[in-house]
A = this chain, B = another copy of it.
Amino acid sequence: MVGLNWTNRIGQFNAKTLVHFEHPMSLDTLADWLAARPASATEPLGARLAQGLREALLDGVVPAGQRLPATRALAARLGVARNTLVAVYAQLREEGFVVAGQGSGTYACRVAPEQVALRAPRAAAAALPAPALSERGRRYQAHPLHRFWRREPFCPGGFDAELFPHALWNRLLAQPLRRPDAAQLGAGEPGGAPALRQAVAQHVRSTRGVRCEPAQVIITDSTAQSLDLIARLLCDPGDRVWIENPCYWGASQALGDLGLTLQPMDVDADGLPLPPATGRTMPNARLAYLTPSHQFPTGAVMPLARRLEWLAHARAHGTLLIEDDYDSEYRYTGMPFPSLQGLDGEQRVLYLGSFSKTMYPGIRVGFLVVPAALAGVFADASADFYRDGDQLVQQALARFITDGHYAAHVRALRREYGARREALVQALWKHLPAELADPARLRILGGARGVHLTLGLPDAVDDQALAARCQALGVTVIPLSVYCVGRLRRGLVLSFAGCPAPSIDKLVARLAPALRRAVA
């Protein structure tokens, strides 16, 4: 049996190495070597000494068969407690680096076969480059978005803990904990907690006109994970996907890393236009990624007519439409449009939602609604690829929705975010009246929706340099061009989710001079 095999080998190993030098190696040699090792601020003394001795053995500072200094002497020489060193010797015995000789003494084992060079010569080691990123990794690292992303107003992804009903949520979260069972702490049902799938199905049916049974709702931990699941089950490397330009970074990144070929099209005032007539010159795409409720980041809202044209295109070309319905809760004026999914008669739409921006970013609960024919395999794959998420949170969220707290919370958020958006628009008009009066210089893009607002700038303006100047003023705005995956568009994206209304005017006042100069 394998067990015996390795035990025997170690046995022979140690036996072979017990060459019993009777005289311990020079105390000074080892002590100086240990003392010379760089100390770490956070590494406990015992761990550092153990690692030092391992390296002394691996590097041949202590040759195989050599007797180690007695703990008492070495401890005294190093000025450490003897017990510390006794524990370190015991640990190394456990690990097979040293053995206790007959009677007394501790001896170095031969830890590697002769042919194995344990370490590169110091020079070579120094020369050895750090592991390099791949081309994909370098593309990620070089993306300009990272240069601008800071946890400051007006950075996207902001969150205002003041608006969240903590006491209520904590009570719901604590309830299942009192009577936990394996199903709650263990991996749950494929597809997510049944109560949550039921609650989400009811919610999107009544608020978004989505047509689904609970079995079609797959709980994920985010929109990125929903996209990962779609790409892995419905696409092969090289498949094409129509994406919006500019585009939500998380979507283009996820779909690209899964091997899809991104086929960007410039969005207009109605969102993503229909693709040109496809044919030999323009092959058809497997997927189209759409944000019809509130295009990210331009804020364009796709009218009913274009939604129906996309559905007709999907039917004619077998393209699947991903409807990322992010921020659809946040509509301050104008009519809502029914979801693409609800208009679809032939199950050509995958509907995506998330609770990160209505509950809190750390909740890690999103979902997708898939065609009934795919519900089973999506549920299984989500369990197999990602397990099933935190069941306690999923059950608390199900209660939060079914008891009506979620709808009430979203109404409250809508009022508050509406006020913040109003404050931002007013501050912009107050501090930049001349610039906004001339749309050729500065424009507020998009409908009155969502938790961010995008300022359109002339193509001549370097929005990244401008955003850097704003950064220097302590206000984080994201340049529109960093979201572009095709023709560059210039602008600034301002998210107000994390900014109480009263704070907004002076933030805008701080930015105004830089903006004024940029579009002068």
Query: A residues near B, CB below 8 A?
Result: 1-3, 5-7, 9-10, 13, 40, 42-44, 46-47, 50-51, 54-55, 58, 94-97, 111-113, 116-120, 125, 128, 130-131, 133-137, 140-141, 145-146, 157-161, 164, 166, 170, 173-174, 177-178, 180-182, 184-188, 198, 201-202, 205-206, 209, 211, 213-214, 221-222, 224-225, 232-237, 239, 249-250, 253-254, 257-259, 269-270, 286, 298-301, 303-305, 308-309, 312, 315, 320, 333-338, 342-343, 345-348, 356, 360-364, 371, 373-374, 377, 380-381, 384-393, 439, 443-448, 498
Instruction: Determine the chain B residues whose CB is within 8 A of the CB of A235 once the complex forms.
Output: 134, 136-137
Question: Closest B-chain residue to A259, C-beta based?
Answer: B259
Residues of B within 8 A of A174 (CB): 170, 174, 177
Q: How far is the CA of A392 from the CA of B308 in the complex (A)?
A: 43
Report the Cα distance A346→B111, complex, angstroms.
18
A2 touching B177, Cβ below 8 Å? no
| CB proximity of A444 to chain B, nearest CB, Å | 6
- Give the contacting residue for A131; candidates B211, B298, B374, B393; CB below 8 A: B374
Query: Told that A116-B309, A140-B377 touch, could you supply 19 new A-B pairs with CB distance under 8 A?
Result: A1-B443, A3-B446, A10-B303, A42-B214, A44-B202, A54-B342, A58-B308, A94-B336, A113-B308, A116-B305, A133-B374, A146-B380, A159-B182, A170-B178, A224-B385, A254-B385, A363-B390, A364-B390, A390-B390
Contact with A390, one of B97, B128, B362, B373 (Cβ below 8 angstroms): B362
| A181/B198 in contact, CB under 8 A | no
Q: Are A3 and B389 in contact (CB under 8 A)?
A: no
**Is the beta-carbon distance between B2 and A300 smaller than 8 angstroms?**
yes
Q: Contact: B95 with A308, CB < 8 Å? A: no
Query: How many whole Å from A29's CB to the nearest CB in chain B?
Result: 20
Per the bound structure, the CA–CA distance linking A378 and B93 in Å amounts to 35
Flag if B239 contacts A188 (CB, 8 Å): no
User: In the complex, which of the residues B44, B232, B348 contacts A205, with contact meaning CB atoms closer than 8 Å?
Assistant: B44
Given A233-B133, A371-B131: A445 touches B1 (CB 8 Å cut-off): yes
Closest chain-B Cβ to A479's Cβ sits at a distance in Å of: 17
Q: With A94-B336, A130-B371 in contact, is A237–B237 under 8 Å at CB?
A: yes
Would B6 and A315 count as touching, CB distance under 8 A?
no
A43 touches B205 (CB 8 A): yes
CB-based contact A160/B182 at 8 Å: yes
**How far, in whole Å, are A373 and B237 apart by their CA atoms in the complex?**
31
Best-surrounded residue of A249, A250, A343 (most CB of chain B within 10 A): A343
Distance of A116 Cα from B161 Cα, bound (Å): 46
Q: Which residues of B contact A9 (CB under 8 A)?
A: 303, 305
Contacts of A364 in B (CB 8 A): 221, 364, 387, 389-390
Expressed in whole angstroms, the Cα–Cα distance for A422 and B225 within the complex equals 40
Contact between chains at A95 and B335 (CB < 8 Å): yes
State whether A362 and B388 are in contact (beta carbons under 8 Å apart), knowing that A131-B373, A135-B236, A445-B2 are contacts in the complex. yes
- How far is the CB of A456 from the nearest CB of chain B, in Å? 9
In the complex, A469→B324 CA distance in Å? 45
- A111 and B209 in contact, given A356-B387, A362-B389 (Cβ under 8 angstroms): no
10 A-B pairs in the complex with CB atoms less than 8 angstroms apart: A1-B444, A43-B205, A51-B211, A136-B235, A145-B384, A159-B187, A166-B180, A173-B177, A258-B258, A361-B387
Report if A373-B130 is in contact (Cβ < 8 Å); known contacts: A5-B269, A166-B180, A182-B161: yes
With A177-B173, A233-B137, A299-B2 given, is the CB distance from A186 to B389 under 8 Å?
no
Report the minimal beta-carbon distance from A277 to chain B, rounded to whole angstroms.
Answer: 14
* Residues of chain B within 8 A of A211, CB atoms compared: 51
| CB nearest neighbor in B for A198 | B42
Which chain B residue lies CB-closest to A236? Answer: B134
Contact between chains at B118 and A308 (CB < 8 Å): yes
Check B447–A2 contact: CB distance below 8 A.
yes
Specify which chain B residues have a CB less than 8 angstroms from the CB of A388 in the assembled complex: 362
A377 touching B141, Cβ below 8 Å:
yes
Q: Name A140's closest neighbour in chain B (CB-CB).
A: B381
Docked complex Cα distance between A278 and B388 (Å)? 41
Q: 5 shortest A-B CB distances, which residue pairs?
A: A130-B373, A185-B360, A137-B233, A159-B186, A112-B308
Docked pose: A55 CA to B211 CA in angstroms: 12
A232 touches B54 (CB 8 A): no
Contacts of A117 in B (CB 8 A): 312
Taking a contact as CB atoms under 8 Å apart, the answer to whether A391 and B377 are in contact is no
Give the Cβ gap from A13 to chain B, nearest Cβ, in Å: 8
B44-A116 in contact (CB<8A): no
Closest to A178 in B: B170
- Interchain CA distance A369-B309 in the complex, whole Å: 49
**Residues of B with C-beta under 8 A to A159:** 182, 185-187
Contact yes or no, B137 A234, CB < 8 A? yes
Bound together, the chains give a CA A116 to CA B448 distance in angstroms of 28
* Contacting pair A161 B180 (CB below 8 A): yes
